[in-house]
Chains A and B, each alone.
Chain A
C-alpha cells in the first residue's frame, strides 16, 4: 500500500471532485485552443466549415474525455498503465505490419470519425508506464544499471517502430519525453551525460553516413537537414517553407497586420499552413505581441504543471505530471523552433493550435490524467 492509498480517505469523492479540478489550467488550455480556431478560420479565408468547426468539435470531444479521465481516481490509471502501454504497442504493431500490406504506408488507424495515430497515444502511455515503474521501484535502485536498462527498453521499443514509419519527429519526442521522466525520477546524471556524448557522436555518424550505402536516414530527411542549415540554397524547392514562414512572421512586426489581414501566410505555398506552420499566421496577423502572448500562455501551462507536480506527494502522480509537461513542452519547443528556422522541419504540430485530431485528443487525454492526479492527490 503506497502512501497515496494510505491517506485515501482524505481524497475528495463524488461530485465534490469538481471543486478540486484545476480550472485555471483548463481555462488556459481552452484559450490556446480558441486562438487556434481563430487562426484556422482566418486561414480558410473566413470560412468556419473548412477547418475551424471540425477542430472545435474535436476539442469539445477531447474536453469531455479530459473530464471523464479526471474523475476516475489516479490509482486506477496507475494500475492501467501496463495494459495501456501494451495496447498502444499493439496498435503500433498493427500499423507497422498491416499498414504496409493492407492500408498502404499509413501511420494511422481509421476509426471512422477520426484517424488515430498510435504513435501519439504512445507518448502518453509511455509516460504512464515509466511513472508507474519508478513508483514501484525502490528509490535506492533507480540508478543501478539493470534497473536503468528496463525503462530504456520500454522507451526504445516503440521508438523503433515509430522511426520505421518513418516519423523522425515523434520518435525523437518519445525518447526525450521518456528521458524526462527518467531524469525526474532521479536517475544519475552520469547516465544522461554519457548518452548526450554518445548522441553527439551518433549525430555526427548520421550526418557523415549520408550518401554511403549504409546511410541511416531517408534521403528526404537528409534534405530537410540541409535545408535547415541553409534554406536559401534552394528557395524554390525544400527551403521554401522556412523562408516563407520567416517572411510571414517577420512581416507581422510588433502588432501584426490584423485579424484576417494576413496575406503572406495565406499565400498557400505553405502546404502545411493549417497544421505544422499555423504559428506563422498568428505571427503575421497578430505580430510579436500575439506570438509572445501565445508563448506566455504555453508557459503558464508548464508552470501550472510544475507547481502541481511539486505540490503532489504521490510519486506516480508527480512523475506523470512532469512527463506530460515535458511532452507538451517538446511539442511546442520543436514546432516553434522549426517554424522560426532554429531546427530542421520534422513535422511536429503546435499543441492545441494545429489542425489535427490525434494530437489534440491525446494532449487533452494527458491533461485529464494530470487533472486526475491533482484531484486525487493526498491532502
Chain B
C-alpha cells in the first residue's frame, strides 16, 4: 500500500515511542529478576548454604513390602525374605570409568563376583544407561559375613553402600509356579506398555517402577494383581555429606505395604496333586461345585519360580523352554484339548433339553455308523447292541452319541456347551487364558468359509473335531453338572482379609430330572458293573464318585495303520499317543468337589486320568492323605505303595526355609 513519506515518518515515530515504552517495561522486569537473584543468591544465601553446601539433601524412595500371598488356610505361598545386597552410586564412586572400575575391582576381592558380574555392573553404571545418582545393585543375596565385610571396608569403597531389603520368596516353589507366577525386574517392554497406558488413560507411572531392577509381577497372580500387591512408595529425605555418606534422615513419609492376598487354593491339596501328576505332562483342577472356589489347579511338570526371581541362567531357561512337556505353560488355562468322551454329557444334556430323546430312548449300536460313504466307528468294534442314555454314558458308546448328536444338531449342542462353561473365557488372574472352542455353524462359515457338514456334527458329538476345552473349562462343566448352577471359578479368596464376593451362580435353567439323568449316567460310568471308569470307583459309600473318562485322538490314522494295529498307544511315539481325560465330582449324593484331569498323550482316560481324579477328589474330601478304606479292596496294595512313593511336603521343617517378613 502506498503511503506518503510523511505518514510513514509519523507511524514510525509512534512505533518508536511504543517500543521505548515496552523496552522500559522489560527493563523493569529484568531489574526485578536481578533483584530476586540477589535476594536468593546473596541475602538468603546463608540459609540455603546451610542446607546445601556441606550436606546435600537427597530424596530416596522407600520401596514398600510386597503383599503376601497365602492359601485358603493362611499358609504362605509368596513372601518376602531379607536380602543383603550391595549397591553402587556412580557419582560417588568416581569421576572416570577407570576409578569406578577400580572400586568394583576392590569389591570383587571382598565378595564373590565373576568377571561377567563386573562387566554387567560397569554397563549399568554407564551414565548414559542410568543417571549417575541412581544406586545400582551389583551383588545380591549375600550372606551376613560378606555383607559385614563390605560394611567394614566402606572407607576404601567410595559410592558402595551395603543395603538390606526385601526380595520375593516362594517357599512352596514348584507347587504354585503357574498360578502365582513370579516377579522380575521391570523391563524396557514393561515400561513401554506402561507409557502407552499412561497416554491412553492419563494415569501416571508409579515412580517405584523407575528404580532399576524393581521387581514386579511377570505372570500369574503376581502379574494380574500387581497393583494390589505392590503397595505405595514411601519417601525419605536424607542429608548426605560431600562424599555421599548418609548423615541423617530429615523426614520420612512411610509408604503403604502391598495388600495381602488369600487364594482359594488349598496348598496341601495342591501339593498332593502336583506330586500325584509327577512328571507327566498333565493338568488337574479341583473345584468347589457350590461356590466355584478353585481348591487346586495344577499344571505339570512345573518349575521353580525362585529361579526367575534370582535371575535364571540361560542354561536353566533353555532347559525349561526346550523341554517337550512344556513346563512353563500353564496347561490349566492355556492348554486347549479335544475333550473326547468327556463331552458326551453336553451332547446328552442338549438332546434331553431339546426333547429329541428321553432317558429310555434306545439306539442300536452295530459298532459303526455310515454317513455319506464314511464310516464312523464306535470304540467297541463288535458294537454295544441296544443302548439307552445310561448305558451310552457308562459304556461310552460312540454310536449312541453319533445318532443323538445328529438329532439335536450342532447349534443346540454349542448352546448347551456354552452354558456349561465350554468355549467361553473364564476370567482368572492368569496369563494367556484360552477360550477353548465351542464351534457352531456360523463359526465354521466365518472361520473357514465352509458350510458345516453332518460329519462335523458326528465328530463334535463325541468331543472330537473342532471342539476344544481347557482343563479349567472341563472342571467348570463338571461343577455345573453337579450343582445345576452356573458357578464361576474364583481363585482370589480375599484381599487384606476382605473377602472377594462370590459370583452367585444362577441356575442352569435345566429341568432337574434331565440333569439327574446325566448325573445317573456319570454315576454308572464309575460304579456300574460295566462302567468304563469302574477301576476308579470309590469304595466308601459316603464319598462315591460320578465321572466320565475321555480318550482324545491326537491324530488321524490311515486304514492301513488301523489294520496293522499301529494304533495301539504303546506302539506309538509319545507325541502321537492319545490324551487321557477324566471329569468327575463327589460325593455322588451331595456333590462338593468337581475335578478334571488331562494327561497329555497319557493313553486311555479311564486307565490313566481316572485314578488321578479319584485321588485328587479324595484328598480334597478327606482333608488328608486318602485312607486306604476308600479304595476297592483289590486295589489297596498298589494304592498303598503309590501313596508311599509320593514326594509330598511335610508339614514340619522339611520345606525350604520359612520366609521372614
- Chain A residues with CB under 8 Å of chain B are 1-3, 44-47, 49-50, 104-105, 136, 138-139, 180, 183-186, 235-236, 240, 244, 246-254, 257, 263-264, 266-269, 283-284, 287-288, 291-292, 295, 298-299, 302-303, 306, 309-310, 312-313, 315, 318-319, 322, 325-326, 329, 333, 336-337, 340, 342
A283: chain B residues at CB < 8 Å are: 37, 40-41
Q: Are A184 and B1 in contact (CB under 8 A)?
A: no
Q: Are B41 and A253 in contact (CB under 8 A)?
A: yes
Bound-complex Cα distance A250 to B45 (A): 5
Q: Which residue of A lies closest to B23 (CB)?
A: A306
Selected contact of A263 from candidates B5, B15, B19, B242, CB within 8 Å: B242
A46 to chain B, nearest CB (A): 6
Q: Check: B379 CB closer than 8 A to any chain A CB.
A: no
Q: Are B26 and A329 in contact (CB under 8 A)?
A: yes
Bound-complex Cα distance A284 to B45 (A): 11
B241 to chain A, nearest CB (A): 10
Known: A104-B199, A295-B33, A295-B34. A302 touches B8 (CB 8 A): no
Known: A253-B49, A342-B36. A322 touches B19 (CB 8 A): yes
Bound-complex Cα distance A269 to B131 (A): 11
Q: Are A263 and B52 in contact (CB under 8 A)?
A: yes
Q: Are B30 and A299 in contact (CB under 8 A)?
A: yes
Q: Which residue of A lies closest to B26 (CB)?
A: A329
Selected contact of B57 from candidates A185, A267, A306, CB within 8 Å: A267
A247: chain B residues at CB < 8 Å are: 48, 51-52, 57
Q: Are A104 and B196 in contact (CB under 8 A)?
A: yes
Q: Check: B425 CB closer than 8 A to any chain A CB.
A: no
B59: chain A residues at CB < 8 Å are: 236, 240, 269
A192 to chain B, nearest CB (A): 11
Q: Are B33 and A337 in contact (CB under 8 A)?
A: yes
Q: Which residue of A lies closest to B132 (CB)?
A: A45
Bound-complex Cα distance A139 to B59 (A): 59
19 sample A-B contacts, Cβ–Cβ < 8 Å, listed by A number: A45-B91, A47-B128, A139-B11, A184-B18, A186-B11, A244-B57, A247-B57, A249-B41, A250-B47, A250-B51, A298-B30, A303-B23, A306-B20, A313-B12, A318-B12, A318-B16, A329-B29, A336-B36, A340-B33
Q: Are B11 and A251 in contact (CB under 8 A)?
A: no
B18: chain A residues at CB < 8 Å are: 183-186
Q: Are A263 and B196 in contact (CB under 8 A)?
A: no
Bound-complex Cα distance A137 to B163 (A): 72
The 7 tightest CB contacts between A and B, nearest first, are A250-B48, A251-B52, A288-B41, A268-B133, A104-B199, A253-B45, A306-B23
Bound-complex Cα distance A249 to B10 (A): 47
Max chain A C-beta neighbours (<10 A), residue from B12, B47, B131: B12
**CB within 8 Å of A: which B2-22 residues:** 2-3, 5, 7-12, 14-16, 18-20, 22
Selected contact of A3 from candidates B3, B127, B128, B134, CB within 8 Å: B3
Bound-complex Cα distance A44 to B90 (A): 12
Q: Check: B58 CB closer than 8 A to any chain A CB.
A: yes
Bound-complex Cα distance A264 to B50 (A): 12
Q: Check: B95 CB closer than 8 A to any chain A CB.
A: yes
Selected contact of B20 from candidates A49, A269, A310, CB within 8 Å: A310
Q: Which residue of A lies closest to B9 (CB)?
A: A313
Q: Which residue of B lies closest to A135 (CB)?
A: B1
A303: chain B residues at CB < 8 Å are: 23
Interface of A is mostly: helix
**CB within 8 Å of A: which B37-68 residues:** 37-38, 40-42, 44-45, 47-49, 51-53, 56-59
Bound-complex Cα distance A250 to B42 (A): 7
B99 to chain A, nearest CB (A): 12
Bound-complex Cα distance A283 to B36 (A): 12
Q: Are A186 and B56 in contact (CB under 8 A)?
A: no
Count chain B residues whose beta carbon lies closer than 8 angstroms to a beta carbon of A.
Answer: 57
Bound-complex Cα distance A136 to B3 (A): 10
Selected contact of B42 from candidates A253, A315, A342, CB within 8 Å: A253
Bound-complex Cα distance A108 to B492 (A): 44
A175 to chain B, nearest CB (A): 16
Known: A139-B7, A329-B26. A105 touches B199 (CB 8 A): yes
Q: Check: B406 CB closer than 8 A to any chain A CB.
A: no
Bound-complex Cα distance A303 to B23 (A): 8
B237: chain A residues at CB < 8 Å are: 235-236
B127: chain A residues at CB < 8 Å are: 44-45, 47, 50
Q: Which residue of A lies closest to B25 (CB)?
A: A329
A326 to chain B, nearest CB (A): 7
Max chain A C-beta neighbours (<10 A), residue from B37, B57, B91: B37
A47: chain B residues at CB < 8 Å are: 127-128
A163 to chain B, nearest CB (A): 17
Q: Are A251 and B22 in contact (CB under 8 A)?
A: no
B491 to chain A, nearest CB (A): 35
Bound-complex Cα distance A26 to B88 (A): 45
Q: Are B128 and A295 in contact (CB under 8 A)?
A: no
Bound-complex Cα distance A96 to B27 (A): 37
Q: Are A246 and B48 in contact (CB under 8 A)?
A: yes
Bound-complex Cα distance A318 to B19 (A): 9
In the complex, besides A3-B5, A236-B59, A306-B19, 8 extra interface pairs with C-beta distance below 8 angstroms are A136-B1, A184-B15, A184-B18, A185-B18, A186-B14, A251-B45, A326-B22, A342-B33
A71 to chain B, nearest CB (A): 25
Q: Check: B83 CB closer than 8 A to any chain A CB.
A: no
Q: Check: B253 CB closer than 8 A to any chain A CB.
A: yes
Selected contact of B15 from candidates A49, A105, A185, A254, CB within 8 Å: A185
Q: Check: B235 CB closer than 8 A to any chain A CB.
A: yes
Q: Are A264 and B56 in contact (CB under 8 A)?
A: yes
A287: chain B residues at CB < 8 Å are: 41
A312: chain B residues at CB < 8 Å are: 12
Bound-complex Cα distance A115 to B11 (A): 40
Known: A47-B127, A309-B19. A315 touches B12 (CB 8 A): yes
Bound-complex Cα distance A128 to B23 (A): 20
Q: Are A263 and B56 in contact (CB under 8 A)?
A: yes
Q: Which residue of B lies closest to A252 (CB)?
A: B41
A337 to chain B, nearest CB (A): 7
Q: Are B23 and A302 in contact (CB under 8 A)?
A: yes
Bound-complex Cα distance A235 to B12 (A): 52
Known: A269-B59, A302-B23, A329-B26. A295 touches B37 (CB 8 A): yes
Q: Are B52 and A250 in contact (CB under 8 A)?
A: yes
B42: chain A residues at CB < 8 Å are: 253-254, 288
A342: chain B residues at CB < 8 Å are: 32-33, 36
Q: Which residue of B lies closest to A244 (CB)?
A: B57
Max chain A C-beta neighbours (<10 A), residue from B1, B12, B15, B45: B15
B37: chain A residues at CB < 8 Å are: 249, 283, 288, 291-292, 295, 340
Selected contact of B33 from candidates A264, A313, A336, CB within 8 Å: A336
Bound-complex Cα distance A288 to B9 (A): 44
**CB within 8 Å of A: which B303-350 residues:** none
Q: Which residue of B lies closest to A298 (CB)?
A: B30
Contact digits for B125-137, partner A, Cβ 8 Å, 1 yes 0 no: 0011001111000
Q: Are A50 and B128 in contact (CB under 8 A)?
A: yes
Q: Which residue of A lies closest to B55 (CB)?
A: A263
Q: Are B15 and A322 in contact (CB under 8 A)?
A: yes
A241 to chain B, nearest CB (A): 12
Q: Which residue of A lies closest to B8 (CB)?
A: A3
Q: Are A138 and B48 in contact (CB under 8 A)?
A: no
Known: A3-B5, A251-B49, A269-B59. A180 touches B30 (CB 8 A): no
Q: Are B41 and A250 in contact (CB under 8 A)?
A: yes
Q: Are B49 and A186 in contact (CB under 8 A)?
A: no
Bound-complex Cα distance A112 to B11 (A): 45
Known: A315-B11, A315-B15, A340-B40. A2 touches B128 (CB 8 A): no
Q: Are A268 and B196 in contact (CB under 8 A)?
A: no
A263: chain B residues at CB < 8 Å are: 52, 56, 242
B2: chain A residues at CB < 8 Å are: 1-2
Known: A3-B8, A44-B127, A292-B37. A318 touches B15 (CB 8 A): yes
Selected contact of B133 from candidates A2, A139, A267, A333, CB within 8 Å: A267
Selected contact of A184 from candidates B8, B19, B48, CB within 8 Å: B19
